[in-house]
Structure 1
């Protein structure tokens, strides 16, 4: 194994990236700079919010860059001056060629799926939404297309039956940080041959989540809706609307439960033995944790006590 320290520039934003940056900082290599998103105003008070990566960099006294545009010539020149051997990208944004061509050993990305499956912005969510039993992580070289570069290394990870995105996310970020360090060793030792991705259209995609694709369609079957709820919990959360008052209802946790035979139209709410059930295309879904617009998250028991005339309401 080579003992030479590489000069690395790291690019990332959320805590998933922090796990990798922390592992890198504890390795033999030099982190010569970190690029993260600009500070943003968030919340009702419009307070300035900094990224998880920036917070970590402040604590560790790392050099931070927050360019508005990645093609800004002053920013590009600063990166060139740092003379990086490698740029590492984890949960950031698409890089222009002028930037990813700078390092001698290339620019690599850690992606939370087994590429070419689940290319896109939300691979962890969509793995569960699609009902997959297995996902994983991929390190690959960045090129002109999103998530299409040559693969360096992959690691498979099992998805448990009741696992939600938050739980899978925490599992993947730890395994991902270890995979990243190993991939850097492979690159440095030149002890592998990168693998060209299959560009067939047969693979699943992982598009950005929005209001439309997070809304529950009660005409789907119970397993599809259950997977959607797991895949969107704890964030951004699957949702529906109560027909009578048009209020948004977020659903965090559910369970397929056909313990009694009481068929209704899809979306209709049934209260049975102090539990909330919603009719789907092929059965009943028990709702365990939920949140009404303007209220806190609560259990179904708490919700029943606070929301009268819930029986026979309909979700749309």
Structure 2
């Protein structure tokens, strides 16, 4: 098998395992493209992306363009004479970039395309209560997540999954599928197939309104929302006009009370009535404080049965 010259493009932790797998393969990563350093975290320290940090560990050339349409950046890419661009959790590539590599540009997407095209496929799979999802490798076209599919792998969503655990498993599965797809491209055994446009659904970027808990919804919907948004950005509600993020909860059959009402408390959690059923709040974060267990919160809060969340 003739190794390919690959330019890897990605930003977050999700993409790091894919870079690791490529570095362990027979192919040559000739450069890494990632976003510029920017203020990150609560301290707002100017830091590189997770991919930039890992690329530095490998002593790979790192390119951090402010704009993907910049002429000098496009020229840099051409000079690399890459066979393939591999993109994992990055940005939408312009046509001037897509036309450069000999074979094309390939993306790894954490859904079974054409389902959940967009920026947040895992979160929306959890939000909608899906019991399975998957990973897709596909050739990139100028519009988001619409290119011909190369390979797919299904993945179970377990009842205890949140977006953090699901993302970690998707990253691992995706990294293996990525190299497997590239090897099959080299051998001529990966056959691109057009996406079924009749089965398209979308997974847009999560916005603040998606994170606000509506206690009139069924308890299962509230729990799905909490799982989808944990550990970040976090589903939220209000208690005495202070924002309260909920990171972990369980279902309860308790039917007494009104939506948003605290109906019972114990040493480790408290139960809130929903439109149907109730949720047991187990982990949360009061505004201005750190994440904590329900019991720790109750030890310092003056919460009682009959209080309301969402107000």
Q: TM-score over 0.5 for the alignment? A: yes
2:153 aligned to which of 150, 155, 172: 155
- 1:307 maps to which of 297, 301, 304: 301
Structure 2 CA distance for partners of 1:139 and 1:43, relative to 1, 3 Å: closer
Please name the residue that 1:273 is paired with.
266
The CA deviation at 1:45 is 4.4
Kept after mapping to 1: 8 A contact 2:163/2:229:
yes
Out of 58, 61, 70, the position equivalent to 2:59 is: 61
Task: Give the corresponding residue for 2:285.
Answer: 291
Counting matched residue pairs gives: 309
Partner of 2:185: 187
Shift in Å, 1:203: 3.8
**Residue equivalent to 1:24:** 22
Residues 227-248 of structure 1: CA deviation (Å, up to 9, x unaligned): 1111111111111112x3x110
Distance 2:121 2:149 in 1: 17
Q: Is the 8 A contact 1:105 1:187 kept in 2?
A: no
| Cα deviation code 1:205-230 (max 9, x no counterpart) | 21101111111111110111111111
Query: How many Å apart are 1:42 and its aligned residue?
Result: 2.9
Distance apart, 1:264 and its partner CA: 1.3
1:210 aligns with one of 207, 227, 240: 207
Alignment partners' CA distance in 2, 1:280 and 1:45: 36
TM-score by length of 1: 0.95
| Counterpart in the other structure of 2:247 | 252
Which blocks of at least 5 consecutive residues in structure 1 are unaligned? none
Would you say the 8 A contact 1:111–1:137 is kept in 2?
yes
- Structure 2: any 5+ residue segments left out of the alignment? none
Q: Does residue 1:6 correspond to 2:1, yes or no? A: no
Q: What is the match of residue 235 of structure 1? A: 232
Cα contact 1:304–1:310 (8 A) shared by 2: no
Deviation readout 1:8-54 (Å, 9 max, x if unpaired): 00000011111000100111111111000111023454321210001
TM-score, normalised to structure 2's length?
0.96
Partner residue of 1:87 out of 85, 88, 101: 85
2:97 maps to 99
Once residues 273 and 59 of structure 1 are traced to their aligned partners in structure 2, the CA distance between those partners, rounded to angstroms, is 48
